[in-house]
Amino acid sequence: MSFAPVLGLESSCDETAAALVGADNKVLSSVVHSQIDQHAAWGGVVPEIAGRSHLRSIRPVVEQALEHAGLTAKDLGGIAVTNRPGLLGSLLIGTTAAKALAYAWNLPLVGVHHIEAHSYAALMPLAAPHFPYITLIVSGGHTSLYRTDSPLQMKLLGSTLDDAAGEALDKAAKMLGLGYPGGPAIQQAGASGNPQAFPFRLPLLAADSLDFSFSGLKTALLYTIKGPGGTTADPWIVPHDCLPDLCASFESTIARTLARKCRRACEQTGIPRVLIGGGVACNLRLRQVMAEEANKAGFQAHFAPAEYCTDNAVMIAGLGRAMFLHGQSDDLNLDVAASG
């Protein structure tokens, strides 16, 4: 079945994005306006700043996406927008813009779940997806494992009990004076480091658990830097001297934990295929460690393309298009939800 290109909008956190996706998941354009510079001074996303920035950027971002694809409203089949989960004020900007455009251009509208879209980003390059999959979504706000039976059917198997993996990387980078966002900063600083130099314990929880916990690892890093209790005024070690080893060891502990949990999920469910998406899925060490684990345990690991791991609208337009093709749509009463 064919369906004209879909315009996707994403504004759930700190990226304002618009994209056009056509037949066979062909990406016709992708525009992402990142707010990182506006949040960096605060060491994390400030919801009020995010909402105001989305409001300024949403219209130019949509105009650029259409212009880059050489399309106009008349060429579109529908509009897809992230309406859950995320920061309420931020979600409202994208959703209100999508409703206004759908009304003005007389196009169908569909609300997309941000996590399902991250998973869809890993499905998009696969010529013939073979369901079911285990999906790992690993980002600044989420670290969760799902069983995925179709692009729209995901059952939660486990999730973090405290920090998300990206959040742990962001907080660790702050501790080490590396700036925001922490994931890329730690990857860069640890590139030449020895991942075995600091043997942090893997937070694997009970033997059969598919949940995650990264706050203890974060505390272990603090104690490594500042001594037991984390209160020593002078650093216990001088982080600067062993920064590459510290970053490599911390990053590797997170990567090995994620890989081991994917293996556990495959073993428990008998599903030997894993999709991996979300901002932390860009991480090179995670990609390498996951490939090694997959090789050892005999499962396939499919990462989302690096440019569609962090928040983007290609994954929203792609999943929205699949939803339209399945006859799904929403009316102009479409609401937003912070969780769910």
Minimum distance of ligand KG4 from residue 136's CB (angstroms): 12
In eight-state DSSP terms, residue 200 is P
Nearest one of 304, 258, 244, 253 to 278, comparing CA atoms: 304
In this structure, are residues 65 and 305 in contact, taking their beta carbons and an 8 Å threshold?
Answer: no
In this structure, are residues 184 and 282 in contact, taking their beta carbons and an 8 Å threshold?
Answer: yes
**Residue 169 interaction partner, one of Zn ion, ligand KG4, none, beta carbon < 5-8 Å per kind:** ligand KG4
Site stretch for ligand KG4 (CB under 6 A), options 139-147, 203-211, 256-264, 327-335: 139-147
Establish if 94 lies at the interface with ligand KG4 (CB under 6 A): no
Establish if 116 lies at the interface with ligand KG4 (CB under 6 A): no
Minimum distance of ligand KG4 from residue 103's CB (angstroms): 28
The residues binding Zn ion (CB under 5 A) are: 139, 311
**Residue 239 interaction partner, one of ligand KG4, Zn ion, none, beta carbon < 5-8 Å per kind:** none
Establish if 163 lies at the interface with ligand KG4 (CB under 6 A): no
Establish if 187 lies at the interface with ligand KG4 (CB under 6 A): yes
Establish if 182 lies at the interface with ligand KG4 (CB under 6 A): yes
Number of residues that bind ligand KG4 (CB under 6 A): 19
Site stretch for ligand KG4 (CB under 6 A), options 96-104, 148-156, 162-170, 291-299: 162-170
Q: Per CB under 6 A, which of residues 278..317 are in contact with ligand KG4?
A: 278-280, 282-283, 310-311
Nearest one of 109, 108, 115 to 95, comparing CA atoms: 109
Tell me the three state secondary structure of residue 54.
helix
Nearest one of 212, 265, 221 to 239, comparing CA atoms: 221
As a whole number of angstroms, the distance between CA 314 and CA 112 comes to 12
- Distance from chain centroid for Cα 26: 21
**Residue 166 interaction partner, one of Zn ion, ligand KG4, none, beta carbon < 5-8 Å per kind:** ligand KG4
Under 8 Å CB-to-CB from 152, ≥6 apart: which residues?
116, 319, 322, 323, 326, 328
**Residue 154 interaction partner, one of ligand KG4, Zn ion, none, beta carbon < 5-8 Å per kind:** none
Q: Per CB under 6 A, which of residues 253..282 are in contact with ligand KG4?
A: 278-280, 282
In this structure, are residues 234 and 262 in contact, taking their beta carbons and an 8 Å threshold?
Answer: no
Residue that is written with structure tokens 């300024």 in the block:
56
Q: List the structure tokens of 71.
A: 């399309």
Which residues contact ligand KG4 by CB under 6 A?
A: 13, 139-141, 166, 169-170, 181-184, 187, 278-280, 282-283, 310-311
